[in-house]
Amino acid sequence: MKALSTTVVMLLLAIVVFGCAPTSTSAVEPNAQNSSSVVTTEKGKQVEKFIKAHIKKVEPMEKAANLAYWDAAISGKPEDYNRVGKLTLEIRQVYSNPQEFAFLKEAKESGQVKDQMLARQLELLVNAYLENQMEPELLKAIVDLGTEIERKFSTFRGSIEGKKVTDNEIKEILKTEIDSHKREQAWLASKQVGGVVASDLVQLVKLRNQAARKLGFDNYHTLSLTLAEQDVKELDKIFNELYELTNKPFAELKAELDQILAAKYGVATVELMPWHYHDPFFQETPMVYQLDLDAYYKDKDVKQVAAKFYAGTGLPVDSILEKSDLYEREGKNPHGFCTDIDRRGDVRVLCNIKNNEYWMETMLHELGHAVYDKNHNLQMPFLLREPAHIFTTEAIAMFFGRLSRNPAWMQQMLGLSDQQRMEIEKVSAKYAQLKQIIFARWDMVMYDFEKQLYANPDQDLNSLWWQMVEKYQLVKKPPARNEPDWAAKIHFTIAPCYYHNYMLGELLASQLHHHIVNNVLKLGSDKDISYVGQKKVGEFLTKKVFEPGAMYHWNEMIEQATGEQLTPKYFVSQFVKTQD
């Protein structure tokens, strides 16, 4: 959810930015441009002075924009959203200044800024400016085309035998219908939007590539990863390892699942087609091991349970909840998100709580983001009082969010009997395993396809997509299918080169889980772990993850916290078990 809301913010940023010729309200000293001969301390001093002036300028701007976004999310009023647009545009204008960018880039490349904290701020600033150096006209073309595709996505309705259907109707058919022909029709309807947007989307990819090349990168995928301090080789290594480690167990689980599905639809397993899974992309767990946990939550107060749990781990959330907006209201954003208003402790969560499992997970998740933001070290400079990466804050949110289905946690927090706990245990482990492994294999499709899409948008993308689906998800291409099924996934349009972060978040959540169980709590096994009342969890996360903020590159932070760089092996040991 945080990721989605971040996407919304990124979109807002993207939407409002065009047409802004870089202004020259430069805070750069007159001599800063050609100072490669200046001694280390001199360069350091220049950068220090620049950053001081920069923060003085942007800190109030960012606070105002965050408050405006909060107001808009609560009120839903167009004028509040317009205010967000105006304020974010002003921030973008600061970062689009080419003289300031040139100064920072030169300072970084000179290698003369030796102070670690200063050098780190410089590195982050260079990326923030680089992102905003696209040519205004090209940027406008990108934003316009992206908006146009998004409009098509939101207005297009697929049809079944000439009758228009909504996305929800398609989803419902895929979840419940047992007639294969009707399922096929619904699946085909879900892909029709692909044909409507595909040629625009290829054009958008080419425009993004053009912009990236003007900034000196191979393509837009490389640029995006660089801006996010990620490296293709590094990600390839992680994804390849995850692929290898999940191959056999995924094949086994899927074979078992296929048998259940085939029996349900009265077909042979070899006849199973993409429409026999329960959503258009097979990214979710088909509801064959359905787990209904809502009954356990309906008489509880989700807000109180969350507050009590977090307090027990040494991460109190009362001051966060006081500022939060937690219940449904007309016009209010219906999802959940967390926002750090000022990097000085004003952290808020927006939710629409109902007392059920979904909102329990969401509250634990959003409060995970919140305790990360809340516990940054105020002694650190403003620019470093942020999570190390978007996926590291996602990992903390997932780490806590996963507990809403954990039988031991549920028993302790909800006061369940041993009998009730055993009922939950019977299906929850299997469900968690399926959910994680199905998502992992799907994320591989997205990561690999997107990488190749930007590397060569002129290739046969329809075939490429099905090669990926067959390789990673073991789902068969329907005979003779040659349609842009890939283009029906809206993320290629609205959140480019981002999807892999969901997986990295899951991997890190598991790595932290493993480290805390074995090295912080020294339990030797995660059997029956609930984290309830474990103050050491909060202590460890605060010291090793929250307080360092963005001081270190994400992989360095992870290594310092857990003794290892990011690895998929703990995700695999937690969720992926080969059957005996």
The 348-387 site mask, x for binding Zn ion (CB under 5 A), equals ----------------------------------------
By beta-carbon proximity to Zn ion, the closer residue of 216 and 334 is 334
Whichever of 1 and 27 has its CB closer to Zn ion, that residue is 1
**Number of residues counted as binding Zn ion (CB under 5 A):** 3
As measured in angstroms, the least distance from the Cβ of 3 to Zn ion is 5
| Cα angle value 493/219/88 (rounded, 5°) | 55
- Contact between 2 and Zn ion by CB under 5 A: the answer reads yes
CA 398 – CA 393 distance, rounded (Å): 9
Residue closer to Zn ion by CB (options 313, 392) is: 392
Minimum CB–partner distance for residue 442 and Zn ion (Å):
18
Segment interacting with Zn ion (CB under 5 A) among 32-40, 150-158, 397-405, 553-561: 397-405
Residue from the set 68, 204, 353, 397 that interacts with Zn ion by CB under 5 A: 397
- The span from the CA of 245 to the CA of 573, in Å, is 10
Query: Closer to Zn ion at the Cβ: 284 or 485?
Result: 284
Q: Which is nearer to Zn ion, 8 or 149 (CB)?
A: 8
Q: Does residue 303 belong to the site contacting Zn ion (CB under 5 A)? A: no
DSSP letters of 427-491? HHHHHHHHHHHHHHHHHHHHHHHHHHHHH-TTS-HHHHHHHHIIIII--PPPTT--S-GGGG-TH
Residue closest to Zn ion, measured at CB: 2
402 touches Zn ion by CB under 5 A: no
Question: In the bound complex, what is the minimum distance in angstroms from residue 4's beta carbon to Zn ion?
Answer: 8
Q: Which stretch binds Zn ion (CB under 5 A): 137-145, 193-201, 396-404, 475-483?
A: 396-404
* Torsion sign (Cα): 278, 280, 282, 283: negative
Closest approach of Zn ion to the CB of residue 19, in Å: 32
Give the nearer residue to Zn ion in terms of CB position, either 18 or 337. 337
Q: Applying CB under 5 A, which part among 84-92, 176-184, 395-403, 508-516 lies near Zn ion?
A: 395-403
For the window 437-466, what string marks contact with Zn ion as x by the rule CB under 5 A?
------------------------------
Q: With contacts defined by CB under 5 A, name the span among 2-10, 225-233, 265-273, 540-548 that binds Zn ion.
A: 2-10
CB of 502 to Zn ion, least distance (A): 9
| Min separation Cβ 338 and Zn ion, Å | 7
Minimum distance, C-beta of residue 227 to Zn ion, in the bound complex (Å): 20
The answer to whether 509 and 395 have CB atoms below 8 angstroms apart is: yes
Query: C-beta of 363: minimal distance to Zn ion in Å?
Result: 12
Stretch of 87-95, 316-324, 379-387, 393-401 contacting Zn ion, by CB under 5 A: 393-401
Residue 1 or 370 having the CB closest to Zn ion:
1
Q: Which is nearer to Zn ion, 219 or 501 (CB)?
A: 501
CA dihedral 497, 501, 503, 508 (to 10 degrees): 160
- Minimum Å gap between C-beta 137 and Zn ion is 35
Q: Assign residue 528 a region (left: φ > 0; alpha: ψ between -120 and 50; beta: otherwise).
A: left
Q: How many CB atoms lie under 10 A from the CB of residue 496?
A: 19
521 HSE (CA, 13 A, CB side): 23
For the CB of residue 368, give the shortest distance to Zn ion in the complex, in Å.
8
Token pair for 508? 């890190």
User: What is the spatial distance between Cα 398 and Cα 506, in angstroms, rounded to a whole number?
Assistant: 7
**Amino acid type, 148:** E
Largest CA distance in the chain: 78
> What is the signed CA dihedral for 154, 160, 165, 167, rounded to 10 degrees?
-60
Cα(285)–Cα(437) distance, rounded to whole angstroms?
9
Binding residues among 317-346 for Zn ion as defined by CB under 5 A? none
The residues, ordered by sequence, that sit 6+ positions from 172 with a Cβ below 8 Å of its Cβ are none
User: Toward Zn ion, which CB reaches closer, 396 or 445?
Assistant: 396
Of the listed pieces 249-257, 281-289, 394-402, 414-422, which binds Zn ion according to CB under 5 A?
394-402
Write out the binding residues for Zn ion, residues 4-63 only, by CB under 5 A.
none
| Rounded least distance, CB 8 to Zn ion, Å | 13
Q: Which range, of 389-397, 434-442, 463-471, 539-547, touches Zn ion by CB under 5 A? A: 389-397
Looking at the DSSP assignment, which residues form a beta bridge with residue 12?
none
Cβ neighbours of residue 267 under 8 Å, at least 6 residues apart?
180, 276
Angle (nearest 5°) at CA 357 between 352 and 254 = 125
Residue 553: which of 379, 344, 387 has the closest Cα? 387
| Rounded least distance, CB 393 to Zn ion, Å | 7
The minimum distance between CB 398 and Zn ion, in angstroms, equals 7
267: exposed, middle or buried (C-beta count within 10 Å: 0-12, 13-18, 19+)?
A: middle
Rank residues 1 and 516 by Cβ distance to Zn ion and give the closer one: 1
As a whole number of angstroms, the distance between CA 545 and CA 422 comes to 34
The answer to whether the Cα torsion of 205, 206, 212, 217 is positive or negative is positive
113 contacts 119 by C-beta, under 8 angstroms = yes
User: How far apart are CB 397 and Zn ion at their closest, in Å?
Assistant: 4
Cα gap 319→349, rounded to integer Å:
11
Rounded to whole angstroms, how far apart are CA atoms 223 and 212?
Answer: 6
Q: Measured from the CB atom, is 95 or 546 closer to Zn ion? A: 546
* Cβ closest to Zn ion, residue 103 vs residue 337: 337
DSSP classification of residue 23: P
- Determine the interface stretch with Zn ion among 1-9, 51-59, 277-285, 404-412 (rule: CB under 5 A): 1-9
Rule CB under 5 A: which residues touch Zn ion?
Answer: 1-2, 397
